[in-house]
Amino acid sequence: MISGLQLFGRLMLIAIRGQMQYRSAFFLMVLGTLLTSMVQAIGIWALFDRFGSLGVWSVAHVAFLYGTINIVFASVDITARGFDTFGSSLIRTGQFDRVLVRPASAVILVAAREVALHKLGQLLQGILVLTYALITLNIDWTPGRIALYVFAVSSMYAFFYAIQIVRATMSFWTIETLEILNTISHGGMETAQYPMSIYKESFTNFFTYVVPLACVAYFPMVGVLDIPDPLGSTLLTQSLAPLAGFVFFAVCLAFWFYGVKRYQSTGS
């Protein structure tokens, strides 16, 4: 038996090879997502051009947040495509029954079923913006900061992946994929593009204690950027906050297993 991770890698490769059969369509789609994901960046640029700064936050600081979150979000979109289309293509059709009888973990089979390569456009856009931020900011990359950044990015990845899993799990009950959770995933990404300190307190609290978006994105990034947090967090909180992302992931995965156990096929 090969390990789960190996299986995931092998299935992903097959999915990528399949997509690359349509080469010109692939390049056009990448170009398209690059263009459309630029839209938000243009908005941010226009506002900073008009207003100069956002309190302690300069355009480069926000570009740092924006670039990082876009890279992570695009990576999740690329690799969690199987969960994204889970409701419509596996549950509604009854195909999930076939997945369950295979001698491998259903999580991995679902995750590696499809890959959304066209989202590479958004990834590229994130890299461009982040590069601009890094050149402008001149961050002093101490080992501690590098570690915190890597920790935060992986926790952000776990966080957004977990939301995709919850979305998929819900379709055990609703049959179709619920678009409403897009407000948490896409909305969360848009929210985290700007520093959390600019939002209303109740809103920030929701995205800290209920859905730990601020813990995976805002707090550790403040730590890396080394600016005094308007919300008043200390370096210790900033360094420990990303743990919440992994806890969130574990809870969501547990919800998935509960859903699988309760699953009653839709087929006839």
Residues that bind another protein (CB under 8 A): 28-29, 32-33, 35-36, 38-40, 42-43, 46-47, 49-55, 178-180, 182-183, 187, 190-191, 194, 198-200, 203
CB of 175 to another protein, least distance (A): 12
Q: Which of 46/254 has CB closer to another protein?
A: 46
CB of 198 to another protein, least distance (A): 4
CB of 132 to another protein, least distance (A): 18
Q: Which of 61/242 has CB closer to another protein?
A: 61
Helix (H, G, I), strand (E, B) or coil at 54: strand
CB of 6 to another protein, least distance (A): 35
Residue among 245, 101, 104, 109 nearest 168 (CA)? 109
CB of 165 to another protein, least distance (A): 19
DSSP conformation class of 178: P
Q: Which of 105/182 has CB closer to another protein?
A: 182
DSSP conformation class of 91: I
For residue 80, what are the β-bridge partners?
A: none
For residue 54, what are the β-bridge partners?
A: 57
Read off the tokens for 177: 């994929």
Q: Which of 38/247 has CB closer to another protein?
A: 38
Q: Which of 140/179 has CB closer to another protein?
A: 179
Distance separating alpha carbons of residues 75 and 31, to the nearest angstrom: 16
Read off the tokens for 202: 């109740």
Distance separating alpha carbons of residues 148 and 220, to the nearest angstrom: 7
In angstroms, the first-to-last Cα distance of the chain is 33
Residue 92's CB is within 10 A of a number of other CB atoms, namely 16
